[in-house]
Homo-oligomer: A and B are copies of this chain.
């Protein structure tokens, strides 16, 4: 009825006095429209789910994820959509209310784990008419599934080239034991750069959860077994900083004796002494872009790009 038109600001076809009367009643009674009724009628929930498939309960602690969520959430609120955030292990994902019930209009997912499992989870999440944006992974070719990644391969290759030019020869890459596709891409990028230099060597060390103690222990173990590398690349800034500190504690000079780098910088790279050479991530913009792509698909448009790749930026510091 007319009231509905006032609430939704379609004043085209009513008298001024009618509009004023309805508005008075609304504010007087403190009326607020019920979102469930609206959702049921329009068959839209006006909310998007952000799912982080990670075994760790502090799935939001990572700086990259944090920026993605902020960018996505801000974009969506501006368009009057809500963002439902949920971290979960691969095991519990299918039972989650978010996917079991029909609680969101679309999903944005960030998945860890083996590629085969990621593919399987994705198939389960993609429903007809329910778009899915995969972040930091290649996604799939199904309709309604698009992917948004940053150029981890290119960034890592450029970083490795930079370190080669600074005298890097024997490289170690620090990776967490959880399989994140972005980390795999970084390793591939480094490998690609090092292939250009026949004298170089390359090893990947497993840093367990990637936290401070695990990372330092992993590097220490590697050095004890295989001797000193002269270039250590952290899979992310956290691991890079852990290594940087440990190396200095051992009495080595950075960058004279050994080069150290991170990846996915936000601002912690400035906090070390020397400042960490790293790669800057456009995570916030990726989140916002995911939001725009999702709403676009919900409006029935075909996505302009099925796979979007964001450039990253090398940030040289004093550690290389």
Contacts and interface: CB of A to CB of B under 8 A. Distances in A.
A77 B51 CA distance: 11
Contacts of A241: 271
Interface stretch (A32-40, A143-151, A193-201): A32-40
A266 to B, nearest CB: 7
A87 B102 contact: no
A277 interface: no
Interface in A56-94: 57-61, 63, 66-67, 69-71, 73-74, 77, 80-88
A45 interface: yes
Given A84-B47, A100-B32, A242-B271, A67 B58 contact: yes
A224 interface: no
A29 interface: no
A197 B39 CA distance: 62
A1 interface: no
Nearest to A48: B84
A242 to B, nearest CB: 7
Nearest to A66: B60
Interface string A182-214: 000000000000000000000000000001110
Nearest to A241: B271
B83 A85 contact: yes
Q: Which one of A33, A66, A249 has the highest number of Cβ atoms from chain B below 10 Å of its Cβ? A: A66
A96 interface: yes
A70 B98 contact: no
Contacts of A82: 47, 49, 84, 86, 97-98, 103
A242 B212 CA distance: 19
Contacts of A222: none
A14 interface: no
Q: Which one of A60, A74, A241 has the highest number of Cβ atoms from chain B below 10 Å of its Cβ? A: A60
A17 interface: no
A37 B36 CA distance: 7
A248 interface: yes
A284 B57 contact: yes
Contacts of A16: none
A74 B57 contact: yes
Interface string A12-42: 0000000000000000000011111111100
Contacts of A242: 271
Contacts of A38: 101
A212 B66 contact: no
B69 A103 contact: no
Contacts of A43: 36
5 contacts: A34-B102, A46-B103, A73-B87, A211-B267, A245-B273
Given A60-B60, A81-B97, 13 more contacts: A32-B101, A34-B102, A35-B103, A37-B40, A39-B40, A46-B103, A57-B70, A58-B67, A61-B66, A73-B87, A85-B85, A241-B271, A245-B273
